[in-house]
Amino acid sequence: MSSMATYQNLLIHGPVELGNGWHRKKRHLFLFRDYLLISNTRCKNILKIKCVIPLHIVWMDKVEEGDSEAKKSFLLGWPMENFRATFPSLEQKEKWCSFLERNINLTKEKDNQKTLELPIFIKDIQHSPVAVTATSFDTVNDIIKKTLSIIGITECENEYLLSFNSGKEEAPFTLLGKCQGQSKM
């Protein structure tokens, strides 16, 4: 953490409410060039760092219309985590969207040369696993499409799920469509 803070300028910071289902927590976000830092908001003089997330593994998506907070919110995620980020105002949400999108893309462009061969095990198919090459820009949906193409299925990719198992958990973790598949490895 100290080397990250020493060499990077703070781009933007501000309050946010991170929600996951009914569970909501007030947090404070700090955006650096390559990292998103999340802290608590309890003490005015002392911030306890909760997470430091490299931007190349962060993804964002729109919140579907529904409640009054949707206009001030977007989905924010990284491997094994996803939240609904709600900001105090529409203007702050748009500012955060702009800064995050720009810096996520810049970080991924630096990593774009990196590829990884992912072994994909397909339930109920004998010639499993298949190897799929992923880049830092590939989403879970992209990896599903590549996998289906390799096994000869060219449609209905929305009917398939991609799950991840690190070997530590009993059950695989289903990945969301906007997650970056390579960041799980």
Q: Name the token pair of 120.
A: 């994909």
CA distances from residue 35 to 10, 58, 116, 133 in whole angstroms, order as listed: 10, 9, 22, 25
Per-residue model confidence (pLDDT) at position 39: 93
Interval 77-90 mean pLDDT: 90
pLDDT tens for 102-153 read 999 888 887 666 777 888 877 777 766 788 888 767 777 888 888 888 888 8
Q: Where are the beta strands (DSSP E) in the chain?
A: 10-20, 23-32, 35-39, 49-54, 59-62, 73-78, 81-86, 115-120, 130-135, 163-164, 173-174
pLDDT of residue 184: 42
How far is Cα 160 from Cα 153, in angstroms, rounded to an integer? 11
Strands 173-174 and 163-164: antiparallel
Spatial separation of the C-alpha atoms in residues 59 and 76, rounded to whole Å? 6
pTM summary value: 0.66
- Domains of the chain in start order, with CATH, are 2-110 (2.30.29.30), 115-184 (3.10.20.90)
Question: Using one digit for the tens of pLDDT, what is the confidence trace for 62-74?
Answer: 887 777 788 999 9
155: three-class secondary structure by DSSP: coil
pLDDT (average), residues 1-19: 77
Write down the pLDDT at residue 2.
Answer: 46
Judge contact between 175 and 140, C-beta under 8 A. yes
What pLDDT does residue 123 have? 75
Residue 4 pLDDT greater than 60, yes or no? no
**In this predicted model, which residue has the larger pLDDT, 128 or 59?**
59
